[in-house]
Chains A and B, each alone.
Chain A
Amino acid sequence: MSYELIGITVLWFFLYGYLIVASIDFGAGFFAYYARMTKKDHIMNQLISRYLSPVWEVTNVFFVFFFVGLVGFFPDTAYYYGQSLLIPGSIAIVLIAIRGSFYAFESYGSKDNAFYMFLYGATGLLIPASLSTALTISEGGFIEETANGVQLLYRELLTSPYSWSVVFLAIVSVLYISAMFLAYYANRAGDEPALELVRKYALFWSSPTIIASLTTFIALSQQNYDHYESALDLWWVFGISVAFFMIAVFLVYQGKYYGWAFVSVMFQFLFAFFGYGASHLPYILRPFITISSGVTNETMAISLIVVFIAGLCLLIPSLILLMRLFLFDADYVKGKK
């Protein structure tokens, strides 16, 4: 395997990790706010805050990891994405900043402040929307390189059906992944009323997710036919993804094996995400950067990979400790600690 392929695979795994953990967090914020508005907060907010409190910063780090790693492995991306994403990127930063800090303000400072809860809920949906811009422009056609440097074509972006279908897909998947996870967590905590509620959310958001995926696929064929065709060559990968989707929904519908249901959700997105990523190659940003044109020098690539492996040896045990203490410690989950 060449360095650039190792690099992009590792980064893609991190982005996938962020997709899962951030979706849980973003969706949970939205559900917490929604529950409060519909006067059901007493049922589930305790559950949500017990999970969210210890992990929110970890979520953020996945994202930082991804973009710092991307710039490290593929320095050209700093130039092209940096130049063109000034506005969407800045908006995303502002939203992430508001979300992160107000979460801390709310949970350690003023408890149950409705305005903070609103910010927390709303940003959870807006962040995926603004971040998805980066994936949208990677398909090409939204950037032009002029004498004055690279510029983003806002008109094209805002009027493109593809761009909006990606935004829609991002938002509904967030809600779906999050509800699926909360169903698992509620079941583990033995919290029947909360489980009943989040199970409904999970089933409700499952069909929009699959519809949005199909819509995005169709819009992709309009936006970038080459990518669409190479995605079709990988049809079986997307097929496996759909199969996992059906398993997940079936299990939750049956009200059994919530853990396995969530594992299926993770596989559903793993396959879809890697199918998308693999068919996107060799381009990182069409037509400006491919993984081989944009990759850093060999020395840096090797040292980044070495550091990465060393870092994992440090982080995986720490993450396991974190999960054992908060995610899989039944007493903690049940609120006894």
Chain B
Amino acid sequence: MFELDGATISRLLTSMTLLFHAIFATLGVGVPVLVSVAELIGIKKKDPHYTLLARRWTRGYTITVAVGVVTGTAIGLQLSLIWPSFMRFAGNVIALPLFMETFAFFFEAIFLGIYLYTWDRFKNPIYHWLLSIPVVIGGTMSAFFITTVNSFMNQPQGFDMENGTITAIDPLAAMFNPATPTKVFHVVSSSYLTAAAVLAAIAAISILLKKGSAYHKKALKLTVSMMFIFAILTAVAGDLSAKFLAEHQPEKLAAGEWHFETEAGADLVVFGTLNENNEVENAIRIPNALSFLAYGDFNAEVQGLEETPEDERPPLWIHYMFDLMVTIGFYTLGISMLFLVFWKIKKWNEHNRLILAGIAVAGPLSMLAIEFGWIYAEVGRQPWIMRGFMTVTEAATTSPYVGAMFWLFFALYVVLGVGCVVVLRKMFKDNPAELELEHRFPQIAATKEDDKS
């Protein structure tokens, strides 16, 4: 076995926790939005199909949110356990949003608890719907606060360094650093998108495998429409993020785009490989597109990686992360648009098997894009934990037991992952939507009017 140094094992352990947490955190931020919309439509249209959708999504959500909460607690503690020197430093400057995040989380947890157990307690269903609003706000605010911390790691500001001591601390400046607006926008929109895509995939698979009833078709229309909206927003957010990088963190963009030499009218390198001289081969080159992506001007000058000192350059493989993320992003936009076009043109059948299969893969793919995006964001900051101030090696714990903890947490995530899947399967397999519909709304199920649509 090859020996890994402490900082590398610390990074591996943190990556594992974050990548696992990201799945549940993303759903945790996104799903309440869809639940809330479905419940509102159900009330407005007096259509129990939508109410049932909201109920069933919420039920699955309780399982994923539980895993999200416990892994969130894990990463919260691991920040101090694995990166003690970073937290001692950063705690002085960026503790504020971390603290606020717990409030948002608290707020969300309280209202989620109430929301779950009060479906039938109000005479007017709109009161129950109102309870979903604080859950949506709490989830999204959590994402906002925690993303400001990550932004701070990329663009530390709001303090002065004098001989190793920190002075002139401004917590709000640290929180609202240049990376914050684009990053928050990108994280929130892509979470909504991914949640919509995952729920759309479930509906699509149900229709593919079991023909699906009107219930599933409504679910599909709702989720794919939302997917389309959020895919557009995510594309806009991604574009703004690239422009932010070009201006403030050029080495991350340059490494992600394999853009080595500073030049005007830079080409965009899509996929490809590097030979031993670090020359790009087998790539698709889009002329001048990188300049356009970075500055909205085909002839703008884009800083190359050559201008970054060699020991401060991120690894070049993040190029694939970037390209995969963007490709999947556009795929979700394309497939959802295709579905909507087929739906609006009456002659065409939007429940075409190919389109359904396309939507079914978009769910897992968009979750992968979230992971690729986070890998790009985090590895693209290397070797820094706080860009320009502290490297990961300086920040990591010096305890000799990190390796053992890696395996402990690995086992934990396997157990949680398997448990989550088993329980979710059992939950919905034993209780299909049609049965539950009959059980809860006998009068609707009896008519079966729109089952053939």
Chain A residues engaging chain B, CB cutoff 8 angstroms: 53-55, 57-58, 60-61, 63-65, 67-69, 71-73, 75-76, 78-87, 89-94, 96-98, 100-105, 108-110, 148-149, 151-152, 296-297, 299-300, 303-304, 307-308, 311, 314-315, 318-319, 321-322, 325-326, 337
Chain B residues engaging chain A, CB cutoff 8 angstroms: 59, 62-63, 65-67, 69-74, 76-85, 87-93, 95-96, 98-103, 105-107, 109-114, 116-118, 121, 134, 166, 169-172, 397-399, 401-402, 404-405, 408-409, 412, 415-416, 419-420, 423-424, 426-427
Find out whether the CB atom of B110 lies under 8 angstroms from the CB atom of A81.
no
**If the complex has contacts A58-B113, A68-B102, A296-B95, are A148 and B87 also in contact, measured as CB distance less than 8 A?**
no
Find out whether the CB atom of A57 lies under 8 angstroms from the CB atom of B112.
yes
Find out whether the CB atom of A325 lies under 8 angstroms from the CB atom of B402.
no
CA distance A81 to B78 in the complex (A): 11
In the complex, how many angstroms separate the beta carbon of B17 from the nearest chain A beta carbon?
9
In the complex, how many angstroms separate the beta carbon of B406 from the nearest chain A beta carbon?
10
Which residues of A have CB within 8 Å of B80?
67, 71, 78, 81-82, 89
Q: Given A78-B79, A110-B426, output 10 extra A-B contacts at Cβ < 8 Å.
A: A54-B117, A65-B106, A68-B101, A83-B397, A89-B81, A97-B74, A98-B415, A109-B63, A307-B99, A322-B110
Find out whether the CB atom of B77 lies under 8 angstroms from the CB atom of A93.
yes
Most chain A CB neighbours (cut-off 10 Å) among B66, B98, B114, B117: B66
CA distance A85 to B78 in the complex (A): 10
- By beta carbon, the residue of chain A nearest B88 is A79
In the complex, how many angstroms separate the beta carbon of A136 from the nearest chain B beta carbon?
17
In the complex, how many angstroms separate the beta carbon of A271 from the nearest chain B beta carbon?
26
Which residues of B have CB within 8 Å of A152?
399
Find out whether the CB atom of A300 lies under 8 angstroms from the CB atom of B96.
yes
Find out whether the CB atom of B85 lies under 8 angstroms from the CB atom of A79.
yes
The B interface is mostly helix, strand or loop, or mixed, namely: helix
Find out whether the CB atom of A61 lies under 8 angstroms from the CB atom of B102.
yes
- By beta carbon, the residue of chain B nearest A54 is B113
Most chain B CB neighbours (cut-off 10 Å) among A60, A72, A110, A296: A72
**If the complex has contacts A82-B81, A300-B169, A319-B110, are A109 and B69 also in contact, measured as CB distance less than 8 A?**
no
- By beta carbon, the residue of chain A nearest B87 is A78
CB-defined A-B contacts under 8 Å, sample of 29 = A53-B113, A57-B109, A57-B113, A60-B109, A61-B102, A64-B102, A64-B105, A68-B98, A72-B96, A78-B87, A78-B88, A82-B82, A83-B399, A86-B81, A86-B402, A89-B81, A90-B409, A93-B78, A98-B416, A100-B70, A110-B423, A151-B398, A296-B95, A299-B171, A300-B171, A314-B107, A318-B111, A321-B110, A325-B121
- By beta carbon, the residue of chain B nearest A62 is B106
Find out whether the CB atom of B399 lies under 8 angstroms from the CB atom of A108.
no
**If the complex has contacts A54-B114, A57-B109, are A93 and B73 also in contact, measured as CB distance less than 8 A?**
yes
Which residues of B have CB within 8 Å of A65?
102, 106
- By beta carbon, the residue of chain A nearest B111 is A318
Which residues of B have CB within 8 Å of A319?
110
**If the complex has contacts A54-B113, A67-B76, A72-B95, are A325 and B118 also in contact, measured as CB distance less than 8 A?**
yes
CA distance A105 to B67 in the complex (A): 10
Find out whether the CB atom of A307 lies under 8 angstroms from the CB atom of B405.
no
Question: Of B92, B113, B401, B415, which contacts A296 at CB under 8 A?
Answer: B92
CA distance A318 to B107 in the complex (A): 7
- By beta carbon, the residue of chain B nearest A50 is B117
Question: Of A73, A93, A303, A337, which contacts B74 at CB under 8 A?
Answer: A93
Most chain B CB neighbours (cut-off 10 Å) among A53, A54, A73, A337: A54
CA distance A69 to B99 in the complex (A): 6
